[in-house]
Structure 1
């Protein structure tokens, strides 16, 4: 599986070109190769500051954003690894609070690629070890690390002795990878997803989780029990009410915390999970004041992001333009909740063919003023005809987002959604690349 990336730096691009030539050998699943690469490079995963490891279908990136912001509000130096990037690959590796430099990125990728060339590594195996090297070789107080695909077989799962692990919301996504039939795994699809995510748990390390339906919850608990990880379950071991504030409590006491600045009611749940993870680990001391400051300060691009003034938004005239990279049914429901009481929106959407074309459209039924379909840059995307069965509105096709915005009727706000690849292209064209 490839993950396309480009760079204006020629040294970085040379290594990205080498990465682009890699693919996961047919039928190979497991962590043996990434462990071999780590071993050849001195096992950097064993030389990290306290690690907070996060998995989930939706919300794991936002949870990582809250963790990083809270830790930094405490005055700590933080490494962070998140996925995917939106504009520059450097966004995936934040070293001591700053995006990795082009020079360091080029050097690290070359070191790993040179060391692993004969092993036939994948894109994710190489880039994960490069991230571990960056974090091991630069002093910091903590690491926040997001899984990529699933958890059990994700390259980040070679991590050892994390301070705490967390699981955000669970839903069906990446079915072609996470639901491949395998002996000894749950047959129920959501229980299987839960098994894959919960398998980031490590013996003795707290596994902090949201509340789930009966089948996935049973899978999480059984997986953690088998591994030997104590579970901190929302509604049993910690509680959070998220109306006007976040009213959090656990056995250590209660906290009254502000709602996030990030848009969407679901963000309060992601912030609560971050708080619960910090409350259930013992490697770092975090004050309630830092939690409050971090929750307010956290930013996470392309998740119900209100775009600023720029070349693209200028084409939309005097109206608000929202951007969300969500592409699965759970993300569609979260978007729909946010706009439940809003005036009808103009939806501009591009979505990969591997995703459900109804995921965003169906939850927004009755809330749209128009539907415009654009490509997902660099990837095979659904055609307008694929979306037509899921809306009563005419589905119009445009070559790009700029053309779609310029053709909108004069009134009504805009939502651009359906793909993180599309979201990255929008941020780049509107001069809002993450920093």
Structure 2
């Protein structure tokens, strides 16, 4: 992409984002040297307790719960997540409020002035801008979600007071490696010497354990250092020295949310001398945490479920959550997926649960047409059992068209599952006139 002209003083946020997409030769360029150099020129210094959250799946939910609990405890909190669903502004929240266009443009201008001839990717540039916004906001705590991996992700220029790795599974293998051990090594590099290092993956890779030991991190492992238990009414967290009982289930739905919640509570226990959190704040925060697109069930009939699941691990969790919903005569899947993802692995986890596939084309160089996607889904679906019926598979230009077709065909007691990519969920949300 050829560079777009540098934004004028009156440029809009959209103008800036178009410019930032054009200024580096590649969208992803792993490494910290360039981003650290510009951070030094900006004099970035974050106040408050810094949480860095990485992992294949679950990191967005863990971030949302940390933010909600800390806000309920009365702290001033900054939250950085990516990617966004509809508006870029969703990536930055200060005290629970999404950053305004004006606030972001001011930071973009500062980063542009500081970078000089140093080339930055869109993600690196915007990360620096949001970190600078947080540095000027007098925060008590900052929660930062890692974009890709950990070791070479721009967020890793921040020395965390507490780091969390939620899960390690196969995704972004072109960048992070093709085994859990290689990916675990990359993610473990958000840990810091002498600082709490939380891992909520029930079976962490040895590479993660070895790196934590090598740097002398204070490693907290699920089932060894913290755990949870529960019944139909409530659940309890148990940590090294702290127990929190009689907790309501998180507002975020899904089978893995107690695992994510326990990671958040372990992180808070590990820094309790810096950020004490009363029990009532935990209760309120868990009930108030929200995260669009993570097993989000929209009101009305037929049931519409939105989930950004885009790798086999996330698809397995989605399948479990669908199984827990109770009986629906037919399941309609509005499915759009980027072409560098493990489509066969995702379809294998969900194939037997879907009766009708509506395959949607996605834009951009990593997108595929609906026809290509439908062909791949047809090849990946397991053969129907003897006497059984194969699912229908149809192609559509985009997720909005696929969703419209699913709505037309679905009966009142059926369910429609929209999944496969952030782009897919965002497109349907926009078609419904909803904000993220």
**What is the TM-score with the length of structure 2 in the denominator?**
0.88
- Partner of 1:415, secondary structure, is strand
User: Which string of whole-angstrom CA distances, capped at 9 and with x for unpartnered residues, describes residues 304-345 of structure 1?
Assistant: 111357xxxxxxxx4111111110001110110011144231
Decide whether aligned partners of structure 1 residues 284 and 370 sit closer, same or farther in structure 2, where only a CA change above 3 A counts: same
Residue of structure 1 in register with 2:307 after alignment: 324
Contact persistence 1:203–1:228 (CA under 8 A): yes
State how 1:63-82 maps to structure 2 within 5 Å.
63-82=62-81
The residue number in structure 2 matching 1:284 is 275
Matches within 5 A, 1:119-130: 119-130=118-129
Aligned partner of residue 389 in structure 1, secondary structure: helix
Deviation sequence 1:104-163 (CA, Å, 0-9, x none):
111211221232140111112111111110000112211111000000100010112x22
Q: CA offset at residue 27 of structure 1?
A: 10
Alignment size in residue pairs: 406
Q: Which residue of 2 aligns with 1:23?
A: 24
> How far did residue 365 of structure 1 move?
2.8
Contact 2:72 2:285 in 1 (8 A): yes
Change (3 A) 1:147 1:24: farther
Pairing 1:16-55 to 2, within 5 Å after superposition = 16-23=17-24, 29-42=30-43, 44=44, 46-55=45-54
Which of the residues 238, 241, 248 maps onto 1:252? 241
Equivalent in 397, 400, 403 of residue 401 of structure 2:
403
Q: Which residue of 2 aligns with 1:380?
A: 367
1:424 to 418, 423, 426: 426
Q: Contact conserved, 1:242 with 1:269, CA < 8 A, in 2?
A: no
| Correspondence list, 1:340-419, <5 A | 340=323, 341-343=326-328, 344-378=330-364, 379-381=366-368, 382-391=372-381, 392-408=390-406, 409-411=409-411, 412-419=414-421
Q: Give CA deviations for 1:199-230 in whole Å, capped at 9, x if unaligned.
A: 001111100111443xx432111111222211
TM, length-normalised to structure 1: 0.89
RMSD: 2.0
Q: Distance in 1 between matches of 2:62 and 2:227?
A: 16
Which runs of no fewer than 5 residues in structure 2 stay unpaired? 2-9, 382-389
Change (3 A) 1:410 1:29: closer
Does the 8 Å contact 2:65/2:261 carry over to 1? yes
- Structure 2 matches for 1:172-321, cutoff 5 A? 172-179=170-177, 189-213=179-203, 216-244=204-232, 245-256=234-245, 257-281=247-271, 282-308=273-299, 318-321=301-304
